């Protein structure tokens, strides 16, 4: 072989080796990173064109893929968009929110548990299909929660409802208003989708926000359940005791004077624990909070789930907050009835009610009941998980009795259901500066063996008198009746 040919051969061999090294690197080391790179349009287009699995409530899909006759083979559709938007989220090119995001691997068919299905599809020369996600939501409870909340807050209002099965932690209803139509965001007309998204982003009422898990507000008097639990669990108070109260209370003679907003049943220096809860006496719970001390109250709040996040099934949930650091008595007193810096999400207050209803045991809340193959074969079922014992069983029973009395004889009687024992608590949280308050209502039923615990939050209700009992109570009642019917 003469020299020029040898040189060309050597050069070609080097090029071949370089090509093989590069191919090996791309196939075996860099493939995963390249596939997941947000700028990889081929992967994004293939994923967007794929037939995703369905998100199912009861027997009906609330998100599914239908064939499309444009450049993408399938289009995501949401049959009941307004009812479930804040749970499903929406699918767009290279992005997802809600369950579309948290369950993306199973819905897109990329989950390792679907490997055999992908292999079968490959052998059959068929397009890979995504798996399905079955939710814990009760369709009747979800409908009842949505329509009752919509009626309570009005067309311009804002609020949320969460219902939980206390014994398991299953989420039976999760509603956030205002809602939106995810079909407008999932359309293949990207210009129209962009306009729809900008309109939602510019809406001051933040319809894209899932208020059930992403909005935390002062819980107001519904937090008295936490204070009462700390008091009963401490052993220093019993359900039949007289507790300190009074027409007004000013801790250590400094700070704001606390009163009972006209509830004269609270005015005596000593009142029964039942009267304090039934008539939501601010002075009684403020005094108890100071007597219990900051550490005991914080520990009790954290046992119920404050200052942590135990909900995994949807992205971007926020922690409910009990303040840390040394609290002066004037602030600790306000914390005892859900003001100062204590803040909670609707999911958190539903967890508090559910733990009391479940004899003190707090279950981990979950929304995904089961993941399935495209042929509806079960791949995994969620097992209920006990988070912790939030309060002792005896204290939980005593607290239940106080909350039943609050419905039977006190401020929460709007949630009473004939023939059924219902436990409940109202809450109205002041936010100052002449603004209307936030309203809350939390309840569970049947009180002796609860099947459902509910939390209702009213953030805005233009043109209406906002109160926990007046607006939140009927919503909670409607949801409890829907579950128990």
- The residues that bridge with 363 in the sheet, in sequence order, are 386
Helix (H, G, I), strand (E, B) or coil at 259: strand
Q: Crossing angle for the helix pair 473-484 and 139-153, nearest 10 degrees?
A: 160
- CA torsion 79-158-155-350 (nearest 10°) is 60
Residue 5, token pair as written in the block: 């040919």
Please work out, in degrees rounded to the nearest 5, the angle formed at the alpha carbon of residue 237 by the alpha carbons of 234 and 243: 140
Distance from C-alpha of 151 to C-alpha of 135, rounded to nearest angstrom? 26
Residue with tokens 């809406």: 203
Residue with tokens 């068929």: 126
> Residue 303 — left, alpha, or beta (φ > 0 → left; ψ -120 to 50 → alpha)?
alpha
Q: How many Cβ atoms sit within 10 Å of the Cβ of residue 131?
A: 27
Q: How many Cβ atoms sit within 10 Å of the Cβ of residue 318?
A: 15
DSSP output for 198-234: HHHHH-TT-TTS-HHHH--B--GGGGHHHHHHHHHHH
Query: Catalytic: 24?
Result: no
Instruction: List the catalytic residue out of 108, 176, 179, 221.
Output: 221
The continuous run of DSSP H or E covering 55 comes out as: strand 55-57
**Cα separations in angstroms, 28 against 22, 34, 116, 442:** 10, 11, 21, 54
Rg (CA), the chain: 27
Residues labelled catalytic: 221
């Amino acid at each position: 072989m003469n020299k020029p040919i040898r040189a060309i051969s050597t050069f070609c061999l080097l090029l071949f080796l370089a090509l093989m090294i590069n191919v090996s690197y791309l196939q075996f080391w860099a493939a995963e990173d390249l596939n997941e790179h947000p700028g990889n349009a081929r992967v994004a287009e293939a994923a967007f064109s794929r037939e995703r699995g369905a998100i199912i409530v009861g027997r009906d899909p609330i998100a599914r893929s239908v064939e499309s006759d444009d450049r993408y083979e399938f289009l995501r559709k949401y049959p009941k968009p307004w009812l479930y938007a804040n749970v499903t989220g929406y699918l767009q090119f290279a992005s997802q929110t809600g369950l579309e995001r948290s369950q993306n691997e199973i819905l897109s068919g990329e989950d390792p548990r679907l490997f055999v299905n992908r292999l079968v599809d490959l052998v059959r020369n068929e397009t890979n299909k995504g798996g399905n996600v079955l939710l814990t939501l009760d369709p009747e409870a979800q409908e009842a929660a949505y329509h009752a909340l919509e009626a309570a807050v009005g067309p311009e209002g804002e609020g949320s409802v969460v219902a939980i099965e206390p014994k398991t932690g299953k989420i039976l209803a999760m509603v956030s208003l205002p809602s939106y139509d995810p079909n407008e965001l999932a359309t293949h007309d990207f210009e129209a989708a962009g306009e729809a998204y900008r309109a939602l982003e510019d809406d001051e009422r933040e319809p894209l926000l899932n208020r059930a898990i992403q909005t935390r507000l002062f819980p107001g008097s519904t937090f008295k359940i936490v204070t009462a639990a700390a008091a009963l669990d401490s052993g220093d108070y019993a359900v039949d005791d007289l507790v300190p109260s009074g027409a007004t209370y000013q801790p250590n003679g400094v700070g704001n004077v606390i009163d009972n907003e006209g509830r004269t049943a609270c005015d005596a220096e000593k009142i029964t624990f039942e009267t304090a809860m039934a008539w939501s006496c601010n002075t009684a719970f403020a005094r108890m909070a100071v007597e219990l001390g900051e550490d005991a109250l914080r520990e009790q709040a954290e046992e119920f789930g404050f200052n942590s996040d135990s909900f995994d099934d949807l992205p971007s949930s926020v922690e409910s907050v009990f303040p840390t650091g040394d609290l002066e008595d004037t602030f600790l007193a306000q914390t005892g009835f859900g003001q100062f810096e204590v803040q909670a999400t609707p999911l958190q207050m539903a967890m508090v009610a559910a733990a009391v209803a479940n004899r003190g045991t707090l279950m981990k809340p979950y929304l995904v009941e089961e993941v399935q193959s495209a042929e509806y074969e079960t791949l995994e079922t969620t097992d209920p998980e006990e988070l912790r014992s939030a309060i002792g069983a005896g204290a939980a029973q005593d607290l239940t009795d106080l909350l039943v009395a609050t419905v039977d004889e006190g401020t929460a009687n709007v949630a009473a259901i004939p023939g059924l024992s219902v436990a409940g608590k109202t809450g109205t949280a002041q936010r100052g500066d002449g603004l209307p308050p936030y309203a809350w209502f939390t309840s569970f039923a049947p009180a002796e063996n609860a099947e459902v615990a509910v939390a209702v939050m009213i953030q805005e209700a233009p043109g209406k008198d906002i109160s926990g009992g007046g607006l939140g109570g009927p919503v909670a009642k409607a949801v409890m009746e829907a579950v128990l019917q």
